């Protein structure tokens, strides 16, 4: 059965309870999971406490740093001369750095 945009994505009640997700946050998580599924990407969301470094965060949940995904939201101009902008979401493997030149090219 094909999903439609008005159907919620997979539910994660344990995650909701563990991190106290608001309705808006839950909607965002549902959208993320539905998009990942539509693109054939396996996603596992793991709740963890605060960490001072990527290595500490990875150790806390028992994974390698490369298995963590860092999230970056960047503002991008719609056109070079426009004041209007949009936002770009970049997902970066934990053991890699942002390639700012490439992100600029991709974001326009």
Mean pLDDT over 10-38 rounds to: 72
Are residue 69 and residue 107 in the same domain, yes or no?
Answer: yes
Give domain status of residue 77, yes or no.
Answer: yes
Per residue, the 3-state secondary structure of the chain, as one string, reads CCCCCCCCCCCCHHHHHHHCCCHHHHHHHHHHHHHHHHCCCCCCCCCCCCCCCHHHHHHHHCCCHHHCEEEEEEEEECCCCCCCEEEEEEEEECCCCCCHHHHHHHHC
Which is more confident, 34 or 25? 34
Q: Give 26-43 pLDDT, tens digit per residue.
A: 888 888 888 889 999 888
How confident is the prediction for the chain on average, in pLDDT? 77
Are residue 73 and residue 106 in the same domain, yes or no?
Answer: yes
**Which pLDDT band, with edges at 50, 70 and 90, does 72 fall under?**
confident
Give domain status of residue 54, yes or no.
Answer: no
Give domain status of residue 11, yes or no.
Answer: yes
Are residue 69 and residue 39 in the same domain, yes or no?
Answer: no
Q: What is the pTM of this model?
A: 0.55
Range of the domain at 96: 65-108
**Which pLDDT band, with edges at 50, 70 and 90, does 108 fall under?**
low
Give domain status of residue 82, yes or no.
Answer: yes
């Amino acid at each position: 059965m094909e999903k439609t945009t008005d159907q919620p994505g997979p539910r994660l009640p344990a995650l909701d309870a563990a991190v106290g997700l608001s309705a808006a946050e839950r909607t965002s998580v549902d959208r993320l999971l539905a998009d990942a599924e539509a693109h054939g990407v396996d996603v596992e969301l793991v709740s963890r406490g605060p960490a001072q470094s990527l290595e500490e965060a990875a150790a806390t949940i028992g994974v390698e740093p490369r298995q963590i995904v860092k999230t970056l939201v960047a503002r991008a101009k719609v056109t070079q001369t426009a004041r209007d902008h949009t936002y770009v979401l970049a997902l970066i493997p934990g053991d890699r750095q942002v390639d700012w030149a490439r992100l600029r090219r991709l974001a326009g």
